[in-house]
Every structure is written in structure tokens, then in C-alpha cells.
Amino acid sequence: MGVGFTQAALEDIRQADLRLIIQVRTWPGITQEEMEKTFSTYQGLPNLSAILFNDSTVPGYPGLLPDLAEQVRGLGIPVGEVEFFPQEGLNKLGLLLNKQVVRVHTIPQNELKQLSPDQALDRYTLAAVERNHRVLMIRPNLTNGNPLQDNLGFIDRLRGSLEQAGLQVGPASLLPPVQVSRLWIFLAGLGVISGGLLLLEKRLNIALILWVGFLASLIWATMLLLNEDVARKGMALVAAILFPILSMTTFIKRNEKGVANAVVSLLGLSLVSLLGSVFMVGLLTDAGYMLKLNQYAGVKLTYLVPPVVVTLYFLSSFDKGSGVCQRLKGFLQQPVSTGLLLGIGVLVAAGAIYLLRTGNEGIVVSDTEIQFRTALAHFLGVRPRTKEFLLGNPALLLLLRYGYRDHRYLPLLLLAAIGQTSMVATFAHTFTPLLISLERATVGILLGVILGLVFMVVWKLFYVCFRKPSSVPE
């Protein structure tokens, strides 16, 4: 049970001119009177700069949240939201406080024991740079040497790492208020609808497309009036799904291209996909999303739908036959080699892992991958996504270079679709600074092109070694 803060510790803080962040426990049977009495004792605390809550439920949840918000507001300080530590009532409290919230990152003691000082340093720096955390809660690492000097040295190194990354160490600043008119939100939604109409143009006549556009715009306007939050989330999801499909189905052809044309096509295709990111960011521009008080919905769908739809599109478009059933029948009657079956099995397993690793909770990442990510961040200044630079973009360049000639190229198509989907979904992490997301996407494209060119050479050498000279691709 919490019994308050010792006067000796508070006096030490005052004399050292340190900023104070308190962490308040929840207690059972709390009443409004008890809450007021408790918070009145915090009024005179020296240099009070933020308040955190200790337990999985904030005090007074659910019935006294408005009273809790009033007490926190009276202190004139923000609430801290600790990453990876969900607390019932905190998101609603943050909204009641008009989003006066700062994001906090800390490393639990059991995890800290398994990390070296360098690994802990990288983790704290990454949290501040890539995920916009304004407060870092440093737990002491009780080593066998000189704990005081070791921990002071760690804090000095962390300060230097943050400043080297362009951040300032000082009082935690709040996100500036973001005011976006409903008109701009409506126009962003119309942009998404326009992308959908371009996609439908491949299948429907112009008259029907115009009717679909009119009805979609009417539904969008109605949803925006009835429930703006749901409408914005829904349209952002549509944008993230739609534009990778549009770009892939527009740029990928059967015929071969020269290397330069393939690179240009990859850049154009990626820009079309990134239009989805532009609309998604516009629709989710709000401090509530940036602080994760309100979250983008449909992460799994974002990663799943584009690869599936793109695959079905090419299966139905590149087979002979008068109808979808005949095309599907033709596909199923194609001869299948053992290698293709093994490849499909690998893709299924990879797809399962791919879906498990999406969203806010995923499978545990290996130490080797963590080291690889850290090395990339140190070398490149920003950490590109593996799904993009190592898999998706090289596969896309090969696909654009040689064309989707038949369904043997399906693995390349799937990898390319996953890469484009991942690039767009990166921008759904609205808590990440936009510039960081742009840098990650750009570096992913550039590295993907370089690796794609290397894979072309390997591809050609493979044909030279294992096929007849006449069949070697140019």
C-alpha cells in the first residue's frame, strides 16, 4: 500500500533542482472525497512535471474518471502513458484531459537483466527517436562493480545518444494541438474514393463507375456526420488496402522491360502506393492517434487483403477462358512440379509468420534479428523494414523486369505485394514521426533496387549454368 512520499526525498529533489514525476497507486473503494484529499497533498510537491499510475487500472475507474481528470487538471501537469503497459481507463482519462498526455518508455527489470548496457541504450534511443516517447523511465541496473558510477555513466551516454539523434533533453513537451476541419477530412476521403474508381475502371463501364462514385461519396458524407471517428478509421483502412492493389494491378504487365524502365516503373508503382499513405495520414491526423489514445483499426486486414486480392486478380486476368470459373479450372489443371509445391509450402509458412508479426502484439523476435535491426539503424541512420528492402522491393524489380509471364512468377508477385503493403502500413503508426516513416520507406526502396539488381545478375547466372544458352534472359 502506498503511504505517500517521504519529505527527505522531496527535499533532496528540490535542492538538486530536479523535475519530479510521481507514480500513484490505485486503492480499492476509492471515493471522491478520498481522491480530492489525496491529490491535495500533491499541490506543493517541488518541480512536479508529470503523473503516472502504478497499477493496471487508474484510480477511480470507471465511475470517478471525470473526478480524476479534474484533479489531474488542477495540478497542471500531463499524464504519462507507459508503453506496453495497458491501464484500464487511461485512454479515456487522456481524452478527458484534452490529450494532455506524454508517452513513456521503460524497460522492465526482468528484461533489463538480459540486456547489455549498449542494448538498453539502443532501445531507449529507438523509443525516443522512432516512437516519439517524451519520457524515458530509467531503472537502475544493479551491477557487481560500482552501481552508482555505472548508472550515472549510462545516463550520460543516453543523453549523448539522444542529442546525437537531434533530440533535446529537458522537460517533456506535449504534442501541439492539431486542428483539422471536417471539410479537409471529407476531401481526403474523396481522394480515396477516386482511387477506388480508378481500380474499378479496369472492370466496369464509365456510367456504372460514376454511379458508384456518387453513392460512395454520399455514404462517406453521411458516415462523417453520424460518427466522425468511425468514418475516419474506416476510410483510412480502405486507403491502406486500396492503393497497393491499384499500383500493383496498374504497373505489372506480362511483357519484359529494360532494367532502367523496370526501375522507373518500381518508383512509379511505389509512389502510387504511397498515395494511400498520404490519405491515411490525413485522415488520422489527430493527437489522439499520435498518442495511441485512439488507434488505427484493421492492422491484420491491411496486411492480408492486398496480397490476396492482387493474387486473385492476376490468376483471373492472365488465364485464358471466358469466365472466372474457366480461368480457375485452367489454373488448377496446370502441371505442378515438386519444387513449386515446396515453394508454396514455404510461402504458406512464411505467410503465417507474416500475419503473426503484424499489429501491436506479435511473436517474439530473436536476438539475432534484434542485432541485425540495430546494425541497420546504426549504419543507415534509420531502420528500413525487412519485408520491404530484403524481400518485397527486390521481388518487385524482378517482376517488372521479366514480367508476370505465367503463374510460376506467383511467389515474386506475393512478395512484391507484401512489400508494398508493408510500406503503406508503416504510416499507420501515427505515433512515429512522419519524417522517420518517409526515411524508412525511401531507404527501403533504394536498398530494394540495389538488391534487385544483384538478384538479376544471380538470376542470369543461374540460367547460364542450368539452362540452354538460348533461354538466358537478356
pLDDT, tens digit (0-9, with 9 covering 90-100), for 208-240: 999 999 999 999 999 999 999 999 999 999 999
**335 plus 426 within the same structural domain:** yes
In a domain, 250, yes or no: yes
- 63: burial class by Cβ within 10 Å (0-12, 13-18, 19+)? exposed
Q: Are residues 146 and 232 in the same domain?
A: no
Instruction: Output the pLDDT for position 145.
Output: 76
Q: Are residues 283 and 416 in the same domain?
A: yes
User: Phi then psi for 321, rounded to 5 degrees?
Assistant: 135, 155
Based on the domain organization, do 21 and 131 belong to the same domain? yes
% residues pLDDT > 70 (the chain): 88
Looking at the fold, whether 246 and 117 belong to one and the same domain comes out as no
- CA dist., res. 84 & res. 360, Å (int): 9
37 neighbors 59 (Cβ within 8 angstroms): no
- How does residue 406 score in pLDDT terms, banded at 50, 70 and 90? confident
Residues 149 and 278 in one domain: no
pLDDT for 176: 82
- Residue 417 CA to residue 247 CA, distance in Å, equals 10
> Is the peptide bond between 62 and the residue preceding it cis, with omega within 30 degrees of 0?
yes
**In this model, does residue 281 exceed pLDDT 90?**
yes
Q: Mean pLDDT, to the nearest integer, of 343-364?
A: 65
The last residue of one of the domains, among 137, 164, 191, is 164
| Residues 131, 253 within the same domain | no
CATH number for the domain that contains residue 73: 3.20.20.370
| Residue written as grid cell 455514404 | 219
Q: What interhelical angle do 259-283 and 228-251 show, nearest 10?
A: 170
Instruction: Please answer whether residues 268 and 257 qualify as being in contact, where contact means their C-beta atoms are separated by less than 8 angstroms.
Output: no
328: confidence class by pLDDT, cuts 50, 70, 90: low
Q: Determine, yes or no, domain membership for 190.
A: no
257 in the same domain as 122 = no
Q: Are residues 149 and 276 in the same domain?
A: no
Going by pLDDT thresholds of 50, 70 and 90, the confidence category of residue 465 is confident
Residue range 365-372: average pLDDT?
70
In a domain, 43, yes or no: yes
Domain boundary among 129, 144, 164: 164
* Domain membership flag for residue 63: yes
C-alpha cell at 227: 460518427
- Determine the pLDDT at residue 22: 93
> Taking residues 153-175, what's their average pLDDT?
92
Residue 231 grid cell: 468514418
8-38 pLDDT tens trace: 888 888 888 889 999 999 988 899 999 999 9
Are 302 and 441 found together in one domain?
yes
Average pLDDT over residues 126-151: 88
Range of the domain at 442: 227-471
pLDDT in tens, 286-296: 988 999 898 88
- Domain assignment present for 194: no
pLDDT score of 230: 94
Average pLDDT value over all residues in the chain: 88
User: Which among 141, 164, 187 is the end of a domain?
Assistant: 164
Residue-level pLDDT at 325: 66
Euclidean distance between CA atoms 308 and 292, whole angstroms: 29
Percent of the chain scored above 90 by pLDDT? 58
Residue 192 falls inside a structural domain: no
* pLDDT exceeds cutoff 70 at 420: yes
Q: How many domains does the chain have?
A: 2
C-beta atoms surrounding 163 within 10 Å: 11
**Mind giving me the DSSP string for 125-151?**
HHHHHHS--SEEE------SS-HHHHH
**Would you state the cell numbers that stand for residue 182, as one nine-digit string?**
471536417
- Same domain, yes or no: 129 and 267: no
- Same domain for 47 and 145, yes or no, is yes
Whether residue 200 is contained in a domain is answered as no
pLDDT at 160 over 90: yes
57 belongs to a structural domain: yes
Rounded distance, CA 118 to CA 437, Å?
24
**Which residues have C-beta within 8 Å of that of residue 465, sequence separation ≥ 6?**
none
Q: Distances in Å between the alpha carbon of 312 and those of 86, 220, 245, 388, 398? A: 39, 27, 11, 22, 20
Confidence grade of residue 303 (pLDDT, cut at 50, 70, 90): very high
Mean pLDDT, to the nearest integer, of 65-75?
96
- Tell me the CA distances in angstroms from 89 to 73, 201, 418, one per residue in order: 16, 46, 36
Summarize the confidence of residues 31-60 as an average pLDDT: 92
